[in-house]
Amino acid sequence: MTTYTIRKMINTQVDYQTLSDIERLMDPDDYSTVESWRDEYEGQDPNTLNETYFIEQAGNAIASFQFHETPAMHVPGKVRIWLMVPQDATVELCETLVTEMEARIAAHPINRAVGPVNEAYAVLMTTLKKHGYRSVLQQIDTTLDVAAFDAAPYAAEAQRLAEAGIQIKSLADLMASDPDWERKLFELQSVARRDIPRKPGIKATDVSIEQWRKFTFTSDLRPKLWMVALTDEGAYVGTGNLWLRDPAGKIGDNGFLGVLRPYRRRGVARILKVTLIRAAQKEGLSTINTGNKTDNPMLQLNLQLGFVVRPGWSWHQMDKRFER
């Protein structure tokens, strides 16, 4: 029987490095920098529940679990979970992780825990199901070879959009030319994210501009890889961006992409994505990764643009309700 110890994380540079190291064990090709982890934790609202623990063996952290409230989608008694284990994690390690997490969840008035788990981590998935978690939705992961993308077939559509009075500019350009860019972008995202497809009864929670700044203006932000669709009059009507979390700065993770309702079905989302990919080419990215629920139209758009499904790499939203 293996001896594990459980240690609560503290917000120090050492523990941010530990998180990065564990994530690298989880996915050697795509893991976050120390700065990304620091931004995430230091940007948390101190009034919300957010606890992270390390599982250590012989003094080395080999896995972690986190549960936290989400201000942007707050439901009383509900927490998001995030579990990190190596792909070859043993049954014993996964059992320890889930058991210890639930013991700490029980110390709070929590009645529901949800969070993404990749199907590539078969032992962890099996362990969660044994503990009463169930998959309530599936998200298909896709990836794009940035260098191989050809934007030429979309040039005419981009021209038609421009002639209709909608242009695409990078956030870097807008920060230099529009003194009101921050308020406009905040209001655009606030409205657009209310339309993100969610389960019945679940809706976005409005956040203040101060909270929005904390989780937007981080070390992962690349203004050249953030595009905004705007009218000739300067109204912001669509947005999409890429985050760069890996230390090498070569892998782009797709951020939120949204278009205001009156401007949908005009090709705005497609040209936003095409412009983002062209910017990624200029910035030397090798790969863009993204994921969408199976019934999300954005999945079909990504496939049309050349994204390919990552076999055996789908994410499942695992969900469990507790009796309290």
Amino acid letter, 33: T
Instruction: Find the mean pLDDT for residues 276-298.
Output: 93
pLDDT at 321: 96
- Measured in whole angstroms, how far is the alpha carbon of residue 224 from the centre of its chain? 19
Residue 98: name the closest of 123, 68, 65, 135 by CA: 65
pLDDT, tens only, 5-62: 999 999 999 999 999 999 999 888 778 999 999 988 887 878 889 999 999 999 999 9
The pLDDT, as a whole number, for residue 219 is 83
**Cα–Cα distances in angstroms (integers) from residue 288 to residues 148, 246, 306, 323, in the given order:** 12, 12, 11, 41
The C-alpha atoms of residue 155 and residue 168 are separated, in whole angstroms, by: 13
Distances (CA, A) of 76 to 71, 185, 266: 10, 28, 38
* φ, ψ dihedrals at 75, nearest 5°: -130, 120
- Give the up-direction half-sphere exposure of residue 318: CA atoms within 13 A in the CB hemisphere: 22
pLDDT band at 203 (very low <50, low <70, confident <90, very high): low
pLDDT value for 186: 95
**Cα 105 to Cα 27: distance, rounded to the nearest angstrom:** 26
Give CA–CA dist 204/75, Å, rounded. Answer: 10
Asked whether residue 207 carries a pLDDT value surpassing 80, the answer given is no
- For 48-82, the pLDDT digits (tens) are 899 999 999 999 999 999 999 987 667 889 999 99
What is the per-residue pLDDT for 202?
Answer: 55
pLDDT (tens digit per residue) in 242-278: 999 888 889 999 999 999 999 999 999 999 999 999 9
What does the mean pLDDT of the chain come to? Answer: 92
pLDDT number for residue 46 = 83
User: Which residue in the block uniquely carries the two structure tokens 């959009």?
Assistant: 161
The residues, ordered by sequence, that sit 6+ positions from 42 with a Cβ below 8 Å of its Cβ are 11
In the structure encoding, which two tokens stand for residue 235, read together? Answer: 């109204």
HEC assignment per residue over 178-237: CCCHHHHHHHHHHHHHHHCCCCCCCCCCCCCHHHHHHHHCCCCCCHHHEEEEEECCCCEE
Least confident interval from 21-35, 67-81, 106-120, 193-207: 193-207
What pLDDT sits at residue 147? Answer: 97
Whether pLDDT at 102 is above 60: yes
Res 314 pLDDT > 70? yes
| pLDDT (average), residues 232-250 | 93
* Domains of the chain, start order: 5-132 (3.40.630.30), 143-309 (3.40.630.30)
pLDDT at position 304 over 90: yes
| pLDDT beyond 60 at 280 | yes
pLDDT of residue 294: 83
Kindly state the average pLDDT of the residues 225-236: 97
Percentage of the chain modeled with pLDDT above 90: 75
Mean pLDDT of 134-150: 95
Q: Tell me, what's the pLDDT at 205?
A: 66
